[in-house]
Structure 1
Amino acid sequence: MLVLDTADVPTAERAEAFHAVAEGEAGTCSVEHQVDERGQIWQRLETWQFGPMTMIVTSGTGMRYWRTPRHMRMDTLHSISLLTHPIGTGGILWNDYRQRISSQTLYLEHRTEAHYEYNWSGTGMSIACVIDFDRLGLPEGMVRAAIPLVVGSSVAPLLLNQVRALHRNADHLSADAGAPAIGDSLLCLTRALVASVTPDPRSRREIAQETLVPRILAYVRAHLTDPALTPQRIAHAHNIAPRTLYRLCESQGISLEQWIIRKRLEGARHDLSAPEHVHRTIETIARSWGFSNPTYFARRFRQTYGATPRQWRYRHRAK
């Protein structure tokens, strides 16, 4: 949902307008803007709600955003955020810890009584998934200790893939009845992210077991386009037996094989409708989503969506 586009605001009022909206969404802060080649600033801010998680996307010209202990004492927000930078390269400063953030990295941000700064130069975009800290259910010391370490966690790429996919379909998914469940899944994976780098083996084991199914599903989503994705490979990646994998999924009401097919069909349906894929054949799109048999793909697509892949593509073009 669009909250602000400063292109619709008089030039002289843009900085003030953005600052007011940023404080409303993320708490008391200070903001400095860089200007473009025309001497102007431009910022666009969008938000979507997914149960316990709020996705905030900021894009535009370069900026520096910071919160000091004084800022944080002025409001009651106590949150944790997952942060990535899909366009351009940003930077984070948290106390004495510095981290460059790009499209390939995921950063964990904890708003505490500490200096925090985020910035980028030139045109950029940041995606922040904000969760109330109390919903995380983890000791504050554990979270603080994890912040410099999560970039190397094996859970980080899975979570980053989830965040990217959610952003691509945010308008549609936030309006869906399943939006709160999506937020719960991200909350669960965030717990797994922190636990994966904690030195306490007992906490690691307990949270790893608790978050196993969400991690399995995140792994599958990240490898949906791989035709070599098999239950054996999924089980091996999580150090469990295939029969345990099936049992875990069934306990959550999930048929693993059908879940994978459905997610692949959703990906193929999106590509068939997307203008950037108009030059690709239906068979190529199907193969890119793990369907090596065109006849099987066409049959399952029609059973699921009531139209053949060709009809679906034509209807979308006709709109």
Structure 2
Amino acid sequence: MLLLDTDDLPPDERVDAYQAMATAETGACGVAHELDGDRGFRKRLASWRFGPVTLFRTEGSGMRYWQTPKHLRRDSWNTVSILTQLHGEGGFAWDGRQRRLTADGLAIASKATGPWEWRWSGTGRSLGLMLDADVLGLPDRMIRTAVALTPHSDIAPLLLSHMHSLHADADRLAVEPGADALGDTVLALLRALVASAAGGPARHDVAEETRFTRILAYVRGNLTDADLTADRIAAGHNLTVSALHGLCEDNGLDLERWITHLRLEGARRDLAAPEHAHRTTDAIARHWGFGDPAHFTRGFRDAFGTTPSAWRAAPTPSA
């Protein structure tokens, strides 16, 4: 949902409007802006709610966003944020350390981490997730440890992939009945990431608690890999294949059937999308892991009551 587009405002009101919106949505903060090539200031801010988690997208001319000790003391919010840069090159500074950030990486910030800064130069687009620290249910010292180790975490790519998936279809997903569950997945993955940096009993307990969620996120992040098999999934999560199937059955999931369903849904969306109009149906099927066109057509018809070609030829197909 679009919260603010500064192009809709008189030029002399834009900076103050963005500052007010940023403070209202994310807490006490400082913001400084670059001017774009036309000596203007442009920002668009959108947000979507997924249960305990809010997803934010900020885009426009270069900026710096920071929280000082004064901001943190003044602000009654105790939140944890997960940040990544969708377009352009971002920077994250914390505890005297600076990191370059692109769409392939993420950073964590919270009151527990102390003062921090986020920035980009030129035209850019960033994505952030925010949730209450109390909902995370882990001690501040553990969160602080995780901030420094996030770039090296094996769980960070799963969380990042889930962020990108939410953003790619946010308008639809945020109003679906399963929106809260998608936010719960973010929460579970973040708990696993933070606990994995801590070691000791907490790491083991949270790893066990979130194993099924991590498996689901891993599958969603690798759906287009033709070699996404039970053997590979089990090996990636230190399980035997029989233990993997047992875990899925305990949670009411038929793994292979679920993977096929997700792939068919992905292919159906691509077949309806104008940006994929130049691709053949077989190419789209192969992209989603279906090497046999006849098998894909049968599965598509069984799932959706029509063939891929008929779906694509419909006047206004909607996935």
Aligned partner of 1:220: which letter? Answer: V
Tell me, yes or no, if the aligned pair for 2:85 and 2:127 is still in contact at 8 Å: yes
- Larger mean CA deviation between 8-17 and 105-114 belongs to 105-114
SS at match of 2:46: strand
Quote the RMSD (CA, aligned, Å): 1.4
Tell me, yes or no, if the aligned pair for 1:72 and 1:112 is still in contact at 8 Å: no
User: Which TM-score applies when normalising by structure 1?
Assistant: 0.96
Distance of 1:112 and 1:16 partners within structure 2: 28
Aligned partner of 2:52: which letter? Answer: P
Distance of 2:267 and 2:315 partners within structure 1: 14
Where do 1:1-319 residues align within 5 Å?
1-112=1-112, 114-198=114-198, 200-315=199-314, 317=316
Distance of 1:99 and 1:278 partners within structure 2: 39
Percent identical among aligned pairs is 47
Deviation at 1:316, TM superposition (A): 5.7
Distance of 2:142 and 2:29 partners within structure 1: 25
Distance of 1:81 and 1:48 partners within structure 2: 14
Tell me, yes or no, if the aligned pair for 2:112 and 2:141 is still in contact at 8 Å: no
Distance of 1:307 and 1:15 partners within structure 2: 51
Aligned partner of 2:205: which letter? Answer: E
SS at match of 1:197: helix
Tell me, yes or no, if the aligned pair for 2:91 and 2:119 is still in contact at 8 Å: yes
Aligned partner of 2:138: which letter? Answer: L
Distance of 2:5 and 2:303 partners within structure 1: 38
Deviation at 1:111, TM superposition (A): 2.7
Q: Deviation digits for residues 216-260 of structure 1, max 9, x if unmatched?
A: 111111211111111111111111111110111111111101110
Distance of 1:96 and 1:145 partners within structure 2: 15
Unaligned 5+ residue runs, structure 1? none
Aligned partner of 2:181: which letter? Answer: A
Aligned partner of 1:20: which letter? Answer: A
Q: Deviation digits for residues 121-173 of structure 1, max 9, x if unmatched?
A: 00111111101101111111011011010111111111111110110010000
SS at match of 1:104: coil
SS at match of 2:314: helix
**Alignment CA distance shift 1:309-1:113 (3 Å):** closer
